[in-house]
């Protein structure tokens, strides 16, 4: 399905994401990496402080769409792949890969690149490459 | 205070994802579909975020000795390009290309309640849990998870 190119909204939303990452660093000293924060809620080696901060950040994420719903005329527009097996496999790979590879789009792609981290630049290039290839295969080759 | 600001950060992050269109997997999948219905929006999201985060982190770490409500800036210290990093990123990219969701947008989209999201998120959390178990080196993970 086609989606409209939204340069200004996407840039604006991106600026907000950046502001959020700076706010979290300025107040809590933590990287706004969602895979790190989400997995720290239940990781064995997390201390209670890390658990609490991570849980509150994730709670904030979960409240965003309901707040949007209350403030506007409905849920944000979306189309989600419907195949249960595809989404189950995708979820497992995303969760495992992000934590095993020490970060996802936010931790590596935004925060890591902003710090000039070579690890994050390499990780971003790798996951972009495998993601582009995956879509090439699923949409054009099979 | 630190918890309130963590909540606020998460909320701003989620609203940013919604406004930018990234809570919609169709837009992400179209960004990844160079030879089909390409939608370059995602590049503007990453670019916009880096535009703030890059000078923001630089300024914070140069002018402040510590965060407002914590003892230190926890910047990841690892430098080595270990196989784990490459393998993890590669696997993550495949899942991202299949479902159009990465962790932030998936959690943000969860309350909207699409069937695909309701399946994706628990599986993602299971994958995260498995990676934490499989890694089995908590000291490395503690320092290394970006």
* pLDDT, tens digit, 9 for 90 and up, residues B15-30: 999 999 999 999 999 9
Proportion of chain A above pLDDT 70, given as a percent: 100
Domain count, chain A: 1
Residues of A in contact with B11 (CB under 8 A): 60-61, 63-64, 67
A29 pLDDT more than 90: yes
Between CA B110 and CA A88 the distance in angstroms is 14
**A116 contacts B53 by C-beta, under 8 angstroms:** no
What does the block give as tokens for A95?
Answer: 């969760």
Residue A2 lies in a domain: no
Let me know if residue A73 belongs to a domain. yes
Residues spanned by the domain of A53: 7-141
The domains of chain B are located at 2-144
Q: Choose the closest CB to A110 out of B49, B84, B123.
A: B49
- Given a cut of 50, the residues of chain B with pLDDT beneath it are 138-144
Instruction: Look at residues B114, B33, B111 and name the one whose alpha carbon lies nearest to residue A59.
Output: B111
Alpha helix (H) ranges present in chain B?
Answer: 2-20, 25-31, 41-63, 83-99, 103-109, 115-135, 138-144
Residues in chain A within 8 Å Cβ distance of B78: 102, 119
| Mean per-residue pLDDT of chain A | 96
* Residue A64 clears pLDDT 70, i.e. is over it: yes
Whether residue A47 is contained in a domain is answered as: yes
Does the ipTM exceed 0.90?
yes
Residues in chain A with CB shorter than 8 Å from the CB of B32 are 131-132, 134-135
Query: Is A1 contained in some domain?
Result: no
């Amino acid at each position: 399905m086609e989606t409209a190119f939204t340069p200004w909204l996407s840039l604006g939303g991106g600026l907000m994401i950046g502001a959020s990452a700076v706010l979290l660093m300025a107040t809590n000293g933590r990287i706004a990496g969602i895979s790190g924060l989400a997995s720290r809620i239940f990781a064995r080696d997390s201390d209670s402080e890390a658990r609490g901060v991570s849980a509150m950040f994730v709670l904030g994420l979960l409240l965003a769409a309901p707040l949007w719903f209350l403030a506007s005329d409905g849920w944000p527009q979306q189309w989600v792949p419907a195949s249960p097996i595809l989404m189950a496999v995708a979820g497992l790979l995303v969760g495992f890969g992000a934590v095993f590879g020490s970060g996802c789009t936010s931790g590596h792609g935004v925060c890591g690149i902003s710090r000039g981290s070579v690890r994050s630049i390499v990780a971003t290039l790798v996951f972009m490459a495998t993601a582009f290839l995956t879509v090439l295969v699923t949409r054009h080759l099979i | 205070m630190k918890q309130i600001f963590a909540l606020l950060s998460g909320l701003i992050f989620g609203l940013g994802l919604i406004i930018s269109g990234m809570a919609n997997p169709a837009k992400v999948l179209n960004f990844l579909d160079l030879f089909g219905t390409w939608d370059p929006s995602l590049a503007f999201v990453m670019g916009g975020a880096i535009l703030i985060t890059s000078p923001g982190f630089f300024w914070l770490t140069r002018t402040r000795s510590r965060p407002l409500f914590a003892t230190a800036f926890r910047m990841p210290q690892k430098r080595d390009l270990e196989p784990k990093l490459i393998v993890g990123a590669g696997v993550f990219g495949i899942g991202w290309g299949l479902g159009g969701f990465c962790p932030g947008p998936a959690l943000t989209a969860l309350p909207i309640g699409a069937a695909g999201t309701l399946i994706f998120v628990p599986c993602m959390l299971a994958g995260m849990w498995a990676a934490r178990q499989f890694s089995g080196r908590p000291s490395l993970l503690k320092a290394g998870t970006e």
